[in-house]
Amino acid sequence: MADPSGSHLRAVILAGGAGRRLGGVDKALLILHGRTMLDHAIATVSGQVGAVALSAAGDPARFARFGIPVLEDGRHRGKGPLAGVLAGMRWAAASGGETLLSLPVDTPFAPRDLAARLGAAPAVAASHGRTHHLVALWPVAAADALERFLDGPGPYRVSGFAAEIGMRAVAFADERDPFVNINTQADLDAAEAGRC
Ligand SMILES: Nc1nc2c(ncn2[C@@H]2O[C@H](COP(=O)(O)OP(=O)(O)OP(=O)(O)O)[C@@H](O)[C@H]2O)c(=O)[nH]1
Ligand SMILES: [Mg+2]
């Protein structure tokens, strides 16, 4: 099915993690500034791409009100976030998408021009001395290579597959780190208080 927007960009919001450091909460449904983290992520990516999907485990019905497809990790479940990236690539390919933007749901301050600033895929965001391996643009054509990587012996590190496809790091020199991610209650409190 062609994308009526004409964009070959797609986005996958990654929310398939366990959220252990937050006591096993559903990070996508966590409230920050009166809206869910998923609302923040959708607002970040929706103007940048032709279509958005969510990568998440468990009952998809809890996300029905957001009106976006929910992708499961499938047979690579348990191998970490690259399983979500692969599901995103397969979903993107089905509608003619050529490039996939991935964004973790716990990164609520990412810029709304992220994809443009990343440039040509494969590219990954870096800021404040850190590489944000899942804030990245992936060529959908790399899906078969990723499938082979996940069929391999591991480890299934995002940085391992990124190196294999020649991922280029793009530095974001913004004074406030746009890729702060919310892993703990202290992170959430700081974000709520505007300290990051
Ligand atoms: N699809 C998918 N996404 C994952 C998986 N593991 C982690 N992620 C996502 O990858 C991103 C980075 O993960 P973490 O920051 O470690 O977040 P988390 O797993 O939710 O939290 P912790 O359990 O506290 O580490 C988040 O957006 C997670 O939702 C997985 O197995 N599958
Ligand atoms: Mg995190």
For 9-42, the pLDDT digits (tens) are 999 999 999 999 999 999 999 999 999 999 999 9
pLDDT at 3 over 90: no
Q: Which atom of ligand 1 is nearest to the CA of 71?
A: 1
Q: How many CB atoms lie within 10 A of CB 11?
A: 28
- Each residue's pLDDT tens digit, 99-118: 999 999 999 999 999 999 99
Say what percent of the chain tops pLDDT 90.
94
**Structural domains of the chain, ranges and CATH numbers in brackets:** 9-192 (3.90.550.10)
Beta bridge mates, 31: 36
Give yes or no for residue 104 CB within 6 A of ligand 1.
Answer: yes
Question: Under a CB-based contact definition with an 8 Å cutoff, are residues 135 and 114 in contact?
Answer: yes
- Token pair in block for residue 54: 């969510």
- Report the residue among 37, 91, 106 best suited for mutation to probe ligand 1: largest number of ligand atoms under 8 A from its CB: 106
Per the model's pLDDT, the better-predicted residue between 1 and 104 turns out to be 104
Return the residue whose CA atom lies nearest to atom 12 of ligand 1: 104
- Each residue's pLDDT tens digit, 157-179: 999 999 999 999 999 998 899 99
pLDDT at 5: 65
Give yes or no for residue 102 CB within 6 A of ligand 1.
Answer: no
